[in-house]
Chain A
């Protein structure tokens, strides 16, 4: 029994870590939906939902119940297997980057000998990241590329011309802006020297004072990444696939009830993922310059303060998403493609070349 526990302990740690992260992500997503409706309401001069609880706090649960109890329609002539597969692909690809979110620094001051069966011996650190992959950034970009399938297959399998066109347009938009997103990250990778998200944060904490947060040397990259992120997650002003004629909902027209809820959830989890990437790459992730003067590095207080500041930065980006939704009109499809290929991609590449030149002269 003790032997089984000892061999299974690392896996148990991962399982517990993933469950906690899953809980955090689901909570954030549920309350982002509520926050969107409230903030959009305030921008538009009205109050959002306020019936279900104080300030509409329990609205997400009401939404979930509504989605579960709706009638589940399946179009008759659709390709059934792909019709059921598409929302699964979308939500799986949205949730996969969960494993590498860098929530906070490593806690090194806990004494682990309180664990039974001697499990705690030899453990010195509790990292607040579930998995530190060497190629974390490539992993996230790859998963985003595969997420395009969810939308393309949904559009095709609905056996509906509007869905097909919406799905194809959305896929075209996503693969165009993926390039700009990848190119805008290259400058950060060059400055940090690693593709690992935790490594990028540590590189930011070790930089000279003017590049503690990479937004300062890489502000062009930041702007390009932010715009490309709006396009990747199909949010306004790039949400043509979802509100194409305002009557037909694009690729998820024929989806009802829980399958639509999966697409909806996938969109908000994508928003959260992109906000986490943005704070990690450009705003220093959990690192904020003056926290280490208040709490000693590696203590629980430092980790907690860093975590709270990290979530504050992520929520600031989510608020920015909602703010832009309430403010800007929508792009037309040809304007969208022009903007992605003829303006953003060359700008991101120019940023890379500029970074190369400056890093070369700084190092020599």
Chain B
């Protein structure tokens, strides 16, 4: 009973921080929210009686990887992303694709529930071996595997879109804006402090 309540609290915190990560325009707020996600996950590991995994999660993810990300954000002095007003029609497209994703997830869920789940290996002699991992991945833990596949696809496509090369007229616009900003800075005193 207590573990259920705690799970919902920490899971709610994790989901809230994850939403906050993708919501903010300022990249630093996103990074700090991501640290919140990792800390919430670590608390969930503690409720699952895995204190080592929880400590190592904080040590590695929140303590090392996110510090690296925050360093990069601070050193590159990334500004807030200004919203592009010419891309308003993409909101509707995004909504439609979101519904397609939901349908896809529902289909995956139904298909996995229809799969027969029989263990075909002897658990005692194959624990930890590749055979048992593979067998369990495709029978008992099929749903998480399929959902992770969908998530990875989303992440890859999202990464490709975010760093896409702009077409020629858009590129000229972006470069002109940047040059204007830089020339403006040259007129005032521009300090360059070496690290």
Binding site for B on A (CB under 8 A): 79, 81-82, 85, 133-135, 138-139, 141-146, 148-149, 152-153, 155-156, 161, 164-165, 167-169, 171-172, 175
Contacts and interface: CB of A to CB of B under 8 A. Distances in A.
**Which secondary structure dominates where chain A touches chain B?**
helix
Nearest to A175: B67
Interface of B: 26, 28-29, 32, 35, 39, 51-52, 55-56, 58-59, 62-64, 67, 70-71, 74-75, 191, 193, 195
A135 B74 contact: no
Given A82-B28, A142-B62, A149-B35, 9 more contacts: A138-B55, A141-B59, A143-B58, A145-B59, A146-B63, A152-B74, A153-B70, A171-B67, A175-B64
A171 B71 CA distance: 9
A152 B55 CA distance: 22
Contact of B63 (A85, A133, A148, A164): A148
Q: Which 8 A-B pairs have the closest CB atoms?
A: A145-B63, A142-B58, A138-B55, A142-B59, A135-B55, A135-B51, A135-B52, A139-B55
Contacts of B32: 82, 85, 149, 153
Contact of B56 (A85, A138, A144, A156): A138
A168 B76 CA distance: 12
23 contacts: A79-B28, A81-B29, A85-B32, A134-B51, A135-B52, A139-B55, A144-B63, A145-B63, A145-B67, A146-B63, A149-B32, A149-B35, A152-B67, A153-B70, A156-B28, A156-B74, A165-B193, A168-B74, A168-B75, A169-B195, A171-B71, A172-B71, A175-B64
A156 B73 CA distance: 10
A169 B63 CA distance: 17
Contacts of B64: 145, 175
B59 A138 contact: yes
B185 to A, nearest CB: 13
Contacts of A141: 59
B26 A79 contact: yes
A152 B193 contact: no
B2 to A, nearest CB: 11
B89 to A, nearest CB: 32
A181 to B, nearest CB: 12
A97 to B, nearest CB: 12
Nearest to A165: B193
B149 to A, nearest CB: 31
A149 B67 contact: yes
Which of A81, A138, A165, A172 gathers the greatest number of chain B CB atoms within 10 Å? A138
